[in-house]
Amino acid sequence: MLSYDVLILGAGPAGCSAAYDLARAGKRVLMLDKRMFPRHKACACGLTRKTLKALRYSVEPVVERVCHEIVLRHIASHTAQRVLVRTRDPICAMAVRERFDAFCLQQTLAAGAELCKVEGIVALREETDRIEVDIATAAGIETLEAPVVIGADGSNGQSRRLAEGLRTGKEVRAAALPAEPQWYARGFALETTVPYAMLPIALPGGDTPQDLVFDFAPLPGGYGWLFPKGDHVNIGVGAFAPTPTGDACLKSVTRALLTEYTEANLGITTLPNITGQYLGMGGQAYVPHGRVLLAGDAAGLVDPLTGEGIYSAIVSGQAAAAAILACDATDLTEEYARRLQPLQKTLAFSRRAAQAFYAHPERGFRVMRTPLLRSLVLKTYSDGLPPTKLLGILSKIFA
């Protein structure tokens, strides 16, 4: 049986962020992933300023465009409204998720972490001082062990339900996973990519292919977007705002809606490809337990207002690594919970903001038309300013 200091399920932003810090600190770390890198991942991949600051290394080699402007659109009383937001500093950097993830993995492996491709996780067993992980590989079933496991395998991964199973038993098998934890909710997004070469000279939406657009007209509980990349536009629609039943307005996100939205904005009726992705939410209520720490989408840490997940993945992965380095396993969950708390407080604010904004988007759009409030919103969601001040103002507007 091979032993490691930490086993990490998933080699995306959350897994790599944790593995990078742990490996740099001298820990023997193994990441397990079902996919070979680079691999396609549905994601608009706009990197906010707070995301770029949180990373331990520059990702400039994979940045394809830097945006200083955002176009915000909304329809109120059958009248289209448009706000152009300009900033001196870049609002976000554009990358392609496939290349971004591969680059982050490259940096993490260079730091000393290891990677193993697996077919899946077969079982987890919690012993007195370690977790045993049965993995399926091309060679058969193998068993690994480590004092701590980080679940960072995304919204569709097994780790969240495996961890839930260990709350009530000492062993949980992938063939008999428990239900999703009650705190977990989902968003959903569909996207496509359209090369600039396919676009007409004049776009029917009135914007240019280089505009970064957020459009709050297409569907309830979410928005449409156009993200300009190096040689193409990433265009999509997504539902993020949680409903009383937990999930976002998932049924409204359809291929037909994306096709209609793309035709209205880009004049394209035949889409080259359409891919979708569930987004893990509800993580403001996640409570760490035992020797399996969840991070990123696996912990439901996607922002329910914006749908942004990369920042939370990076910060939570780093928090998990810091907790492991700061204490022994007996105090691990308390330490991770403490380090995760600032992010969870922000997500709790975003959940309230999402419920208010998507219920009354015309009021939210009025906020974005006011320069002072607009600046405060951008500082909160792009720079990572604590939302306390913004919360006080918005509570009066949406009262």
Domains of the chain, with CATH numbers? 1-59+95-184+282-350 (3.50.50.60)
pLDDT for 377: 83
Length of the chain: 399
Torsion angle (degrees, nearest 10) of CA 334, 337, 339, 340: 170
pLDDT for 208: 80
pLDDT for 203: 78
pLDDT for 75: 66
pLDDT for 184: 94
User: In angstroms, rounded to a whole number, what is the distance separating the alpha carbons of residues 206 and 266?
Assistant: 9
Task: Find, among 90, 100, 129, the residue nearest to 37 by Cα.
Answer: 100
pLDDT for 251: 83
pLDDT for 46: 96
pLDDT for 90: 87
pLDDT for 48: 95
Task: Find, among 7, 93, 26, the residue nearest to 55 by Cα.
Answer: 93
Question: For the chain, which residues score pLDDT lower than 70?
Answer: 75-80, 205-206, 243-246, 329-330, 389, 391-399
pLDDT for 396: 64
pLDDT for 387: 76
Task: Find, among 184, 103, 147, the residue nearest to 293 by Cα.
Answer: 147
